[in-house]
Structure 1
Amino acid sequence: MDIGSKIRKSRVDAKLTQEQAAEALGISRQTISNWENEKSYPDIVSVLKMSDLYRVSLDYLLKGESSMSSYMDYLDESTNQVKSRRRLSALIVVLSYLTIWTLAILWFWFSPDETGKAMVYALGVIWIIIPLTTFILSLLIGEMDLWGRCKWFASIAFGIMYMLLAYMSFSLANNIATGKVNEPNWTLLLVGTVISLLGIGVGHLISILKK
């Protein structure tokens, strides 16, 4: 039995119409029809969703006669594409944060000294922009499940970077002015980590609700 016939049989056995299946999978009815008639193939993510929706095993959907070989080749390619997209998404998240973090440091050291600059930097950058950036990017990490179970450790990295932001600006300026080396503010490590954990948690919850 080919992949299209298996998809159709699984849907019918689950007592679902094409419209109902399409709505549950978040795709169009025409896409379901194309899969069942083998005008196009589902990617690995869609196969996993159909396995859950139709209550059939992946072995049933993916294993079979020699006519399935072309689909398996397609699925291998599709899986590699999904992995590539996830790696690209992870890279974009990391580079986005590092760019904003670096610009914040450069602004502190190289912007003109003006009255109230320290207050603007403290309130605008350290307590608004960076925490908001941390939360949003952490939410994306949780929603896209970047790095799998290891995604929760990203919160520690965010916490460290948040602490270093303050240390590389106010603390370093104070060290230079006084000639003394002060320790980083470890409280900021905790604050940054908690903000990131909240973002990842919300994103993870969103991904669960979408299923």
Structure 2
Amino acid sequence: MAKTQLEDMGERLKTARINRKLTKMEVCWRTQIQPDALEVYESAQEEPDLLSLAKLSDTYRVSLDWLITGFEFYSKSLLANAEQEVKRLQSIIKEQSRVIETIREAVNGPNQKGQTAKRKRKVIP
């Protein structure tokens, strides 16, 4: 006998919880979803509301797409690529900061504490 979409979703909810090694009570504590409601969702007796699905998605670290359909429409590789790009940009910023500091030292000379001396600007009226 074929499973219904609701039964499939209930299995995904339970699988996601088990994969995160969380008990039902831990999930209820983290999400503020009532224990009886979580049981109803996992046993496919009732469909979770969108707010509950969002909380469960966040807690289980899975996409709403996967919870609802079983498919990932936005691959986790996109998130990994975004994180990699952030790290690359942070590295560029650090390198630019080092270059700026080197230029400041070349122009102003290092002060006694190893920091660059602040150059006073003259304000012309």
Q: What TM-score, normalized to structure 2? A: 0.48
> Per residue, is there more helix in 1 or in 2?
1
Q: Rg larger in 1 or in 2?
A: 2
